[in-house]
Amino acid sequence: MSGELFYLVAFVTSLVVVLIFTPIVNRIGHLTGYVDQPNERKIHKRPMVRLGGVAIFIGFIAALILVWKLGAFGIPPYAKEWEVWGVFIGAVFFFFIGLADDLFSLSPASRLLLQTLVSSMAWYWGVRIDFLSLPFIGGLFDLGWLSLPITIVWLVGMANAINWIDGVDGLAAGVAGISAVMMLIVTLFMEQPGAALIAAALAGGALGFLRYNFNPAQIFMGDGGAYFIGFTLAGVGAIGLVKSLAVTAVLLPYLILAVPIIDMSVVIVSRLSQGRSPFLADKRHLHHRLLKAGVSQRMTVLFIYALTLWVGGLALGFSNIPSGWGFAIASTVILIYVGWQVWSTKSTG
């Protein structure tokens, strides 16, 4: 099998397995009572199974196993990269941390402690940020001993950022799917096959889950799915792009994931400025603000999709991928069109 087909197989396998397993997980969740109950902060009006991340995880694992088997006659080079295993093993641990929270409601402190420990292990295995780009000054800054705490903040932060935007039907899965596709394109162009394979499997799983999670949702991904997806996206960025010595490449994962990063940062600053805990849930996220302004759930999600596509398009442009700036221009047009539709809906509403 040619190298390019491995990524397609990973994407399609993950997507198909998620399409098959999500209804099964949904039925099991209803039978066992593991559902998310409505309350004043949440949007859904009926109990919803919160274990959809199990199906995404199964699809991801199935895709990687199949690619491994197909490449067994000549093990793909990415299978020998320790940092790839670091992302894989770390993602598995993050999934189980989230699943434990879905099943047993862990305390915020215990979740944060476990996530920090796993991220530290991932750093040891090579999933690390060694450089920061200084675009306005020029060149790269070698982090030295700061590599460990900054990597932990990146991995733990992204896992929670994806979890925090999972407040509207289809939002987290769609943003993750779009971001993973952008990561796939950029890592392939940067000749990072291991990171690209993980991105392909993640993209297939996230987009397949949208079949059941887009408004009106039939199932939620839960903390298991959100933590797994967030850590995996951050891990792919760390091993596929941030390890590069190119100033532009180091910036790409932050640009691709700008929407959840900025949303989380604004919410934390807002909470702290009012003397509130940054971990105390409220309705300060972008999707909450759009809904409060009278925008429908679907238009809210489509607008944030367009934002994610736009920053991804900018990343393709800055990475000098052939036709990258063409895609950036196209995504800008899409964002303007969707933004106009949101404004029109809000005005007439």
Q: Is the CB of residue 253 less than 8 Å from the CB of residue 262?
A: no
CA angle in degrees (0–180, nearest 5) for 302-180-61: 120
The pTM of this model reads: 0.93
**Residue 155 located in a structural domain:** yes
Name beta bridge partners: 140: 133
Provide φ and ψ at 110, rounded to 5°: -70, -40
Domain span including residue 249:
3-254
Residue 152 lies in a domain: yes
Q: What is the pLDDT of residue 75?
A: 45
Q: Is residue 120 part of a domain?
A: yes
User: Does residue 340 sit within a domain?
Assistant: no
In this prediction, residue 173 carries a pLDDT of 98
- Dist. CA 200–CA 142, nearest whole Å: 30
Count of domains forming the chain: 1
In a domain, 348, yes or no: no
Is 317 a member of any domain? Answer: no
Question: Is 324 part of a structural domain of the chain?
Answer: no
Distance, in Å, from the CA atom of 156 to the CA atom of 111, rounded to the nearest integer, reads: 10
The CA–CA distances, whole Å, from 232 to 119, 164, 181, 187, 300 equal 11, 16, 13, 14, 25
Q: Give a yes or no: residue 263 inside a domain.
A: no
Q: What is the SS3 assignment for the chain? A: CCHHHHHHHHHHHHHHHHHHHHHHHHHHHHHHCCEECCCCCCCCCCCEECCHHHHHHHHHHHHHHHHHHHCHHHCCHHHHCHHHHHHHHHHHHHHHHHHHHHHHCCCHHHHHHHHHHHHHHHHHCCCCCCEEECCCCCCEEECHHHHHHHHHHHHHHHHHHHHHCCCCCCHHHHHHHHHHHHHHHHHHHCCCHHHHHHHHHHHHHHHHHHHHHCCCCCCCCHHHHHHHHHHHHHHHHHHHHHCCCCHHHHHHHHHHCHHHHHHHHHHHHHHHHCCCCCCCCCCCCHHHHHHHCCCCHHHHHHHHHHHHHHHHHHHHHHCCCCCHHHHHHHHHHHHHHHHHHHHHHHHHC
What is the structure's pLDDT at 149?
Answer: 96
pLDDT in tens, the chain (349 residues): 456 788 999 999 999 999 999 999 999 999 998 888 776 666 666 889 999 999 999 999 999 999 888 764 444 545 456 888 999 999 999 999 999 999 999 999 999 999 999 999 999 999 999 887 765 555 677 888 999 999 999 999 999 999 999 989 999 999 999 999 999 999 998 888 889 999 999 999 999 999 999 999 999 999 999 999 999 999 999 998 776 555 566 788 999 999 999 999 999 998 888 888 787 777 889 998 999 888 999 999 999 999 999 999 999 998 888 899 999 999 999 999 999 999 887 655 5
